Structure 1
Amino acid sequence: MRIYLATVIAVTFCCPGVADAQEVPVVALARPAAPEHALASGTEVFVKLNQELSSKRVKEGEMFGLTVSNDVMLGQYVVIPKGSLAMGEVTWRTGRAVFGKSGKMEIELRYVDLNGRRIPINGKFRQEGEGSTVAAVGAVVLAAPLLFITGKSARIPEGRELKGYTSEAIPVALPAGATIEAAPVQASAPASSTP
């Protein structure tokens, strides 16, 4: 037994190619195929506000909820279903001020939550309250220094529909054998020529 073990050790050190022949080869795995279809970057996504936003109550950086108001389609397939939750953010705001200055705010759309996956969307909106600058100037001219007239807060009502766009192409895996039907191309009528 000792002679056999000594022979195996000697062969292993002297002839490394013999030892390598006994190793199991590495098996290459096929890479999963990339989806052949994608929802294009810049595809329209319509969303509605889930609550009223007012420059009087919101703060910069505050997130707010939205709901997708229409199915987003790729051919005849729904990629983002109506009713999916989405989020936006208040990116800038000012409160109303004296002398008729109205409140203002800007909001941006951020993403749609699609079964835990965040689909980035973009869209930027600005809302201003109605000012009362003319009334405030009139009050100062009429020597009413104790009268403070302020503008109104900027307000976006609950249910307001906003249009956003997908920020990047979204890969879509269709059922096996499925194809996307191209939209029919309508030919335009030839222009009539009048002398």
Structure 2
Amino acid sequence: MLRLAAGTQVEVELVDHLSSSTNKLGDRFTIRLAQPISIQGVDIVAAGATGQGEVIDAARAGMGGKQGKLIISARYLDLNGRQVRVRGMTFLAAGKSRVDLATGVLLVPYAGVAAVLIQGGEIEMPAGARATVRLAEDLELPVSATTPSTTVETGKFQ
């Protein structure tokens, strides 16, 4: 058996577009393996394997320059017929804050009401955005004639 140790890093990408303006807490989204997992030049898991992530926190941009918030986390990848938990991919993206602009407008006499109308920036995470995740558990794969028989310690494989 070939064993990928928990902690092994792999590259994934978002399949779905995510946004602080449309996504909410608990929303699920699809991720996929962006690069094959290879050992000594032999692909042991093909690119394209899919999995799932979850929105951990989300908030729309608000008045007064409040920026949007979107925090997501990968949950698992389906690797060679097995749902393997992953961790370490928690995106925290922040929109451009416009609080300073809103505060500046508040300080201008007779323009204070306008500060409340200044909208903060939304977070947009396009499909195809890439990240690195770590396997949260060991993954054992059968050894084929072309696959080297080895145990892979924690590391990054592409």
Contact 1:76 1:180 in 2 (8 A): no
Counterpart code for 2:7 = G
Deviates further, 109-118 or 88-97: 109-118
Structure with bigger gyration radius: 1
Contact 1:39 1:74 in 2 (8 A): no
Gaps in structure 2 of 5+ consecutive residues: 152-158
Structure 1 position 138 matched with structure 2 position 104 = yes
Partner of 1:40: 5
1:179, 1:80 → 2: CA distance? 13
Deviation per CA, 1:145-186: give whole Å up to 9, x if none.
33211211112122111111111110121026964479xxxx
Partner of 2:121: 152
Gaps in structure 1 of 5+ consecutive residues: 1-34, 183-195
Partner of 2:27: 62
- What's the CA shift for 1:60? 0.6
- TM-score, normalised to structure 2, is 0.83
**Change in CA separation of 1:177 and 1:60 when aligned onto 2, cut-off 3 Å:** closer
1:76, 1:118 → 2: CA distance? 24
1:179, 1:155 → 2: CA distance? 41
2:93 pairs with one of 114, 120, 127: 127
- What's the CA shift for 1:48? 1.1
- What's the CA shift for 1:61? 0.7
- What's the CA shift for 1:74? 3.6
1:53, 1:178 → 2: CA distance? 37
2:77, 2:8 → 1: CA distance? 13
1:76, 1:174 → 2: CA distance? 15
1:178, 1:48 → 2: CA distance? 26
**Change in CA separation of 1:79 and 1:139 when aligned onto 2, cut-off 3 Å:** same
Structure 1 position 107 matched with structure 2 position 72 = yes
**Change in CA separation of 1:137 and 1:119 when aligned onto 2, cut-off 3 Å:** same
Counterpart code for 1:48 = E
1:177, 1:77 → 2: CA distance? 7
Identical pairs, percent: 27
DSSP-derived class of the 2:25 partner: coil
Quick check: which one's strand share is greater?
A: 2
Contact 1:86 1:111 in 2 (8 A): yes
1:81, 1:151 → 2: CA distance? 41
- TM-score, normalised to structure 1, is 0.68
Partner of 2:154: none
Quick check: which one's helix share is greater?
A: 1
Contact 1:66 1:88 in 2 (8 A): yes
Counterpart code for 2:136 = S
